[in-house]
Structure 1
Amino acid sequence: MTRVLDLRPATPADAAGIGPCHLACWQETYAGLLSPAFFAGRSPERFAANWAQLLADPATAPVTVASADGEVVGFAQVVPSRDTPPVREEELVSLYLRAAHHGSGLGQALLDAVLDDRPASLWVAEQNARARRFYERNGFSADGAREVDESWEGLAQVRLVR
């Protein structure tokens, strides 16, 4: 079966697809790191509503979506650094891809679309070895910064820079 893959800028109409994709990516990515209770109160509809609000705001930094056969399977976004003081001008705040598409090249295509080879920072779950290897292959390395997010059940994140 030939799949039609697409990478393009998100529009407000994409919120209905990005929302469920976002939650599913969280569930796949953080399943071994966060409890089922963490996800229990979250719904695809609420995620879609949040994305609708975000994408309707003209001040929102561009979001790129990846789709397969018309279904949103990933997304990525770069914003001005949120770190104080900033270690890089830009920060990759999201790059999520459904697990079924890992290794397909879509993750790399998303990263290239939103950041190319520019310097940037990002935060990644300390125990997310797959994501850390991906970013390391793309020139990122840990700079020693680490945060523990209590609202995420004490999940530790490390900052990567290039």
Structure 2
Amino acid sequence: MLIREATGADAEGIAIVHVDCWRTTYKDIMPSEFLDNLSYEKRKDIWIKNITSDESYVYVAENNEGKIVGFISGGKREKNNVEDSGDLTAIYILENFQRMGLGKKLIKELFFKFDELGFKTIFVEVLEDNKSRYFYEAFGAELLETEKIKMAGAELNLLVYEWKDISPVLLRMSSR
């Protein structure tokens, strides 16, 4: 498995992983009609913008055949006034490649980038019913707040997690 920075040519592969992961991850959380109508093409356009933005950092996980099987993205925190903060905006790994350590490798790349940029505090938002929240907790993220949101016609609880200081996470990752 290879973890590397994404390029514009990766937008289609990232879009496929994004849509497929939404369909599996949110299957019992969001309305099926919404999930069925997700579009690879629309997601590809979004990812082209994300990858080429100076404010966004995207890394991919490739299998041995060079196929993208996961990705992570993040950037400068825009939602609040916390100094030197960033957002982990997305991390998705195809079901068949989960529990193989790819999430740890992806988060490691992004957090080292955040450290390079001088970000100390990192936020991540996750739906309460999404089991990936336990992944964040295992890496020391602490629940900051819960808010109700409407998404795809469903009322959901959005959890906002925070790493107040990513130094311990980086130390833990560099020792592996």
Shorter chain as normaliser: what TM range?
Answer: 0.7 to 0.9
8 Å Cα contact 1:87/1:121 also seen in 2: no
- Write the deviation string for residues 34-81 of structure 1: whole angstroms up to 9, x where unpaired: 111111322112211221233234x24120011112111111112111
Name 2:59's counterpart in structure 1. Answer: 64
TM-score normalised to structure 2 length: 0.80
Give 1:25's match in structure 2, choosing from 21, 24, 27: 21
Measured after TM superposition, the shift of residue 119 of structure 1 is 3.4
Give 3-state SS (helix, strand or coil) of 1:149's partner: strand
Name 1:146's counterpart in structure 2. Answer: 146
Give 3-state SS (helix, strand or coil) of 2:96's partner: helix
Measured after TM superposition, the shift of residue 115 of structure 1 is 1.0
Name 2:31's counterpart in structure 1. Answer: 35
Ranges in structure 2 where 5+ consecutive residues have no aligned partner: 164-176
Give 3-state SS (helix, strand or coil) of 1:115's partner: helix
Name 2:157's counterpart in structure 1. Answer: 156
CA distance in 2, matches of 1:60, 1:13: 18
Segments ≥4 residues shifted beyond 4 Å:
none
Ranges in structure 1 where 5+ consecutive residues have no aligned partner: none
What is the number of equivalent residue pairs in this alignment? 155
Give 3-state SS (helix, strand or coil) of 1:113's partner: helix
Percent identical: 26
Q: Over the residues paired in the alignment, what is the CA RMSD in angstroms?
A: 1.8
8 Å Cα contact 1:78/1:115 also seen in 2: no
CA distance in 2, matches of 1:122, 1:78: 9
Name 2:166's counterpart in structure 1. Answer: none
- Write the deviation string for residues 113-155 of structure 1: whole angstroms up to 9, x where unpaired: 1014853111111112x31211111011102x12222134222
CA distance in 1, matches of 2:55, 2:69: 21
The amino acid across from 1:131 in the alignment is: S
